[in-house]
């Protein structure tokens, strides 16, 4: 995983890609095994972010661990929990819709703070199974920043699986395979 973060650091040194006919855009999927989620976060927060800071690189971290419930008061969360037992499918659809609408806005707001910088979204596992990142990234291609998305999953013959669920296509993102083992 350390090698993966070193490769990411080198990618972030490169200028943003110009619009036009390109094979990749300014997004990066950091693909790693779901079993390595805690190692990934530790490496990101304890080592990589301080290195970016020392380099003077403009970046923002977007922790998605509480994203689904940010902005809800306690009564609404209690209602959502009760709805889960009444109609789980309806609850799942409602939460997925909320993520599809609010996550691109959150990323765009952070990107506006740091033109030419990098937004790194992590703890994406907390959004499983509500989102498909291929769809999210398609709507964010026009931002003037890099978007790095933590992607606990795998690449199977060119097809991405987020938490063992097919994530669709439409990727112009650079896929960076973060292999564990070294610490």
At residue 79 the predicted structure's pLDDT band, cuts being 50, 70 and 90, is confident
Residue 182 confidence (pLDDT): 46
At residue 103 the predicted structure's pLDDT band, cuts being 50, 70 and 90, is very high
Q: What angle do CA 108, 109, 114 make, to 5 degrees?
A: 90
User: Each residue of 9-37: pLDDT tens digit?
Assistant: 998 988 887 665 455 578 999 999 999 99
User: Each residue of 125-166: pLDDT tens digit?
Assistant: 999 988 888 778 888 888 889 999 999 999 888 888 999 888
């Amino acid at each position: 995983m350390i090698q993966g973060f070193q490769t990411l650091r080198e990618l972030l040194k490169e200028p943003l890609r110009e619009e036009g006919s390109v094979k990749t855009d300014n997004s990066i999927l950091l693909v790693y095994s779901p079993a390595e989620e805690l190692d990934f976060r530790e490496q990101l927060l304890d080592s990589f972010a301080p290195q970016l800071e020392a380099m003077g690189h403009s970046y923002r971290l977007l922790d998605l661990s509480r994203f689904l419930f940010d902005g809800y008061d306690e009564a609404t969360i209690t209602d959502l929990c009760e709805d889960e037992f009444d109609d789980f499918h309806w609850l799942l659809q409602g939460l997925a819709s909320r993520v599809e609408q609010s996550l691109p806005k959150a990323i765009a707001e952070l990107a506006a703070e740091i033109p030419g910088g990098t937004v790194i979204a992590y703890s994406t596992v907390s959004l499983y199974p509500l989102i498909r990142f291929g769809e999210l990234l398609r709507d964010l291609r026009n931002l003037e920043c890099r978007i790095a998305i933590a992607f606990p999953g795998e690449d199977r013959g060119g097809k991405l699986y987020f938490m063992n669920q097919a994530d669709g296509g439409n990727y112009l993102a650079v896929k960076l395979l973060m292999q564990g083992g070294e610490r």
